[in-house]
Structure formats: structure tokens, C-alpha cells
Structure 1
Amino acid sequence: MNIVFLDTMTLGECDLTPIKQLGELICYPFTTPQECLQRSKDADIIITNKVVLNKEILKQLPKLKLVCIAATGMNNVDLQVAKECGIAVKNVAGYSTKSVVQHTITLALGLLSKISYYDQYVKSAEYTKSPIFVNLKYDAVDIDNKKWGIIGLGSIGKGVAKIAMALGASVSYYSTSGKNAQGYPSQSLESLLKESDIISIHAPLNEQTKGLIGEKELSLLKNKAIILNLGRGGIIDENALAQELKKREIYAGLDVFEVEPMQKNHCLLSKDIPQERLLLTPHIAWGYVNSRKHLIEGIAQNIRSIL
């Protein structure tokens, strides 16, 4: 089997041995749309994380038997055309649940503790000039007794709820799909936004969630509330969020953005936004070491399923 991995750079440094054992593996760090067809034409199996396989490309790959998506989302492959061409398409689900939960808690605690400010304060040598042993310029806030609202109570949301409660928070949720989840009180979106001290988003991007949190919704947040997006970019209106951060004391932590990578001069990079109110990471919550190991094992298992 000829196996072509079109964008290994998206997985960082990791051991691809489980895949190499199943065929002749050719790896490309990154593949542009113009390079995709040429690199794929002799493949029996293609592995792609974010490289798009559209109708035009799939129709010209008669040898192709399987597309393995190195992710959970499948929107980069034309599934209908793949089916018409007899090409199986398999993703890997659930591999990153624990790391996304951990990253969510990390962002929340980082914002509550103002850790980025205090880290920079010490590293800049300002601390060496202090006449006293401590700096309490910004309040580090306990999570205990806070209200944590979760938007999207799937496996990740439930994992976050479990840890939040262990740290002393009370948990409620809003279901974007309308499905009920046992064990936690359900709220309307409006009530959850008004009442929660911390809101974390763990929903997929679809017709129900695109633009779910816009200017009106952000205006409902408590002063000093924290909003976190670990779901998909596009759920929060980033321009509206930037304006709200400039106007009043709310906090935000984002690992996902509407356009990735962020565009130059992005609104959230404005110098008018106090940086202690904002933590941004480059879509890494899924990519912790164990998560990538589980992902590679899942890809290998998907390949074995057709051999």
C-alpha cells in the first residue's frame, strides 16, 4: 500500500511507526492546493489533517481506497464525492478529550491568577526593583464558589465540569443541540451568560452555533467574567469580543479562531486590549503528547480496517 501523509507538520514531532508498519509511507510537511493532486496520484491511502480533498481532486484519484483524516472534523473532504468514487473516509474521534479538558482548565486558572502578568513582571526584572517582597497589582481570584457555565456538554464539557466542581465551582450548561444531559442543571443561553463567572465553549461549529456569541450576548456577561472558546472559531464574534474587552473588565481565553492562523493585525492583537485580560493559544488543546499518540494509533487502526 502506498500511503501519503500530506501535512505531517500539523502533528509536530511524533512517532509514525504504527503507520509505517502498514505500507510505504511518504510524508510531506505541508501541501498547498496546487501540490495536492501531484502528490496524491499514486496513493492507495491518503492521510490529511487540514489539506482539502475536494471534488476535482478526488475524481482524479482512481487508485485511492481510503482517506484517513488526522482529526475529528471531516469538513476538508468532499464526503459525497468520496462515496460516489468508492473511497472510504475515516476520522479519529475522542483522542484529545483529556488534553482539551486540561487546556480549558489551564486557560481558566491562568486568567484567574493573572499568571501572564506576574510571569512577565518577574522576568522583566521589575521585581528586582521592588521595595517589598510581593506584587498584588491585579487580584488573583479563587475558583471556589464560582459559577461555571458550559456551552456544549459532550465528553469534553463533562470532563471540564468534573474538574471545575472538584475545584469548588458549581456547574450548569446550555445545550446547543437541544439534547439533555443528566447530572447538571440546564439553563437558557441568556441565563447562563448572565449568571456565570466562567463560561467555556465546547460545541461544534454548525448552523446552530455559528455566531452564537455576538455583541448582544457578550453584553450580558458579568463584569470580571471569563469566557473561553475551546470549541471552534466562528462561535464567538471576535470583533465583538475585542470591543467588549476594550470597554470593560471581562476576560477571554481562546485556542481556536475563525481564520487559522490568525490574520495580521487581528482585532484581538490590539494594543488597546489589556493583555492580562486575554490568553491566546494557537489551536494546541488537541495536540498534547498523549493525544497525538492516540491519534496516530487511531489512524493506524483505520488503515488496518481496510487491509
Structure 2
Amino acid sequence: MKIVCLDAKTLGDDADLSLFKQFGTFEAFDTTALHERIEHIGDAKIVLSNKVLIDKEVMDACPNLGLICITATGMNNVDLAYANHKGIVVKNVAGYSSASVAQTTFMLVLNLLGKAAYYDAYVQSGAWVNSSIFTHLQEPFCEIKKKRWGIIGLGNIGKEVAKIATAFGAEVVYYSTSGANKDTAYQQISLRDMLQTCDIVTIHAPLNEKTQYLIAKEQLLLMKKGAILVNVGRGGIVHEADVANILDEKELFVGLDVLEKEPMQANHPLLHVKHKERLILTPHIAWASVEARRELIRLVGENIKDFLRQ
């Protein structure tokens, strides 16, 4: 039996994919362009894909295909309806990265709140050597304790963030994008109230018709002066051009791990923000701690075992 991974590079150069060899002949491609999909899959029975599009064209051209393992939670890179029509099983992986995403959320918040980039640059420049006093407090920073922390999307990751924020001493409130979440551990408030009253707002929601551009110019203008906004959910929830414009007009601090189009496009407006100290950008890494990726690979292996038992 042949097993193919179409975009192994998305799992990291340090990822150990050897466990898939137990199921048959395993071949991994670093990347797969659209015109290479059919050639790379060939007569494989099982295909692993993180972001490579597997659509009707591919399924029809690869008749031996029986299982598509998505090495992620989101499934929008596979034509699920046509896979079902063809009798092809599609399995994703969920819940493997909650700790990693929560940790990245705090990495972004703490860097913005604590002015870490400024103070590191100050010391690295050699300026501290010439200081007349033992410290340097040019950029005042605050504590999380007693701050109001708003969470958009109180799912598994949102709850993990809420738990840690509470341990820091924050007052946690949340906004349910679906309207279905009625968690009694935390106060549910409207998005408007959250933006007007919270010192920190973090996004952990999926992208859908209710969340696309949920945070745009109107919402950013509502936020408190000095507030922090972090998106580790999905690109497209935050209107990036509006963020770029407002950061040079209003004292807000923003951390984005996800963008609407990835990788980042050339001449993206966020690359031209003048107040760069108000912005941290990371290249969609929140999901990808070493431990999370190991767990992801293990769970993909379990999905293959389940398929083979049927």
C-alpha cells in the first residue's frame, strides 16, 4: 500500500514522519504545486495533506485513493461532498494544539504589554552601558493582574486562555460568535461592550460568515487607548488594512499570527506601519510547538489505523 504526504514541509523540517512507514510504502514531498498533485499522488491509497487542495479533478484522476488525512483541523482544502460521493474517507485532527496556541497568545500579549522588543533593543544597542542609573524606564509597562481580558470564541483554546488569564489575576469575559455558547464560568457580553471595556482582547474563533471582518475600523475605534488585540484564530477575522491604518492614528497594540492570505503578500499594508512598536507579526506558528506537531503526527497515525481496521 502506498502512502503519500503532499506538503511535509508544513510539518517542520524536524518532524519525524517515520511512523507512517509501518503502514506501507511511504513517500513525502516537501511541497506540492497545483499542477503536481496528480503526479505526486499517483496510485496512493492514503494521502496526507495540510493545505494542498484535493478536489474533484484530483479524486477522479487518482482512482485508488481511499483515505485523505488532513494534517490540521480545518478541512476547507478538500471537496468533502465529492469525497463522500466517491466513497473516499476524509479525516482531520482536532485538539492537538490547544496548549501551543494558548502559549503563543500569552507570548504575544506579554511582549506587547511588557514592551519586550523595546527593552531588548535598548540593551542590545549598548545604551545600558552608558546609563547613569541601574535601570531604564522609558517605556512604562503594566501587569495583567486586574486587567479586563476579553475572549472572542470560548472553545477549547479560548477556555485554556481564560484559565491562564485568570491565574494572572485578570477579569475574564467572553463574546460568543455563534451565540450558542452559554458558559457559566465567565460573563458573556456583547462585542461592543468588550471592545469598549477590555484592556486585552484575544481571538480564538473560526472564520465564517459571522466572523469575517468582525474586527474592522469601526470596532478598532471602539477600543480603549492602549488596549491590546491578538488574533491567533483565523486570518480574515481582522481587517488587516484597517489595522495598518489605525495603528498610526491611535495607540493600540496588535499581535497577529494569522493573515487573510498566507504566506504574506508583497507590499502588505502591515509592512508599512510607522509605529512598528505597536505591532507583532508571527508567521502562523501558534499551532506548531514541537509537542503539538508530535501529537498531530501521532493522531494522524491513529486515523490511518482506524481506516485500516474498517
Q: CA deviation at 1:243?
A: 1.1
Tell me the residue number matched to 1:10: 10
Length, aligned pairs only: 306
Q: What residue identity is the alignment partner of 1:112?
A: L
- Is the contact made by 2:244 and 2:273 (CA closer than 8 Å) also made in structure 1? no
- Is the contact made by 2:245 and 2:273 (CA closer than 8 Å) also made in structure 1? no
SS of corresponding position for 1:279 = strand
1:243-265 superposed Cα distances (whole Å, 9 cap, x missing partner): 11110111001110011111112
Tell me the residue number matched to 1:126: 127
Tell me the residue number matched to 2:53: 52
**Distance (whole Å) between structure 1 residues aligned to residue 93 and residue 11 of structure 2:** 14
Tell me the residue number matched to 2:261: 259
Q: CA deviation at 1:129?
A: 3.1
Q: CA deviation at 1:285?
A: 0.6
Q: How does 1:144-183 map to 2 (within 5 A)?
A: 144-179=145-180, 180-183=182-185
Tell me the residue number matched to 2:205: 203
**Distance (whole Å) between structure 1 residues aligned to residue 129 and residue 192 of structure 2:** 46
Q: CA deviation at 1:271?
A: 4.4
In the alignment, structure 1 residue 217 sits paired with structure 2 residue 214: no
4+ residue segments displaced more than 3 Å: none
Q: Structure 2: any 5+ residue segments left out of the alignment? A: none
Q: CA RMSD in A?
A: 1.0
Tell me the residue number matched to 1:281: 282
**Distance (whole Å) between structure 2 residues aligned to residue 56 and residue 66 of structure 1:** 16
SS of corresponding position for 1:285 = coil
Tell me the residue number matched to 1:193: 195
Percent sequence identity is 51
Q: What residue identity is the alignment partner of 2:262?
A: E
Q: CA deviation at 1:125?
A: 2.2
Q: What residue identity is the alignment partner of 1:183?
A: A
Tell me the residue number matched to 1:100: 101
Q: Which has the higher contact order (CA 8 A, sep 6+)?
A: 1
SS of corresponding position for 1:21 = helix
1:197-246 superposed Cα distances (whole Å, 9 cap, x missing partner): 00000000001101111110111000000000010000000011111111
In the alignment, structure 1 residue 270 sits paired with structure 2 residue 268: no
Tell me the residue number matched to 1:73: 74
Q: Structure 1: any 5+ residue segments left out of the alignment? A: none
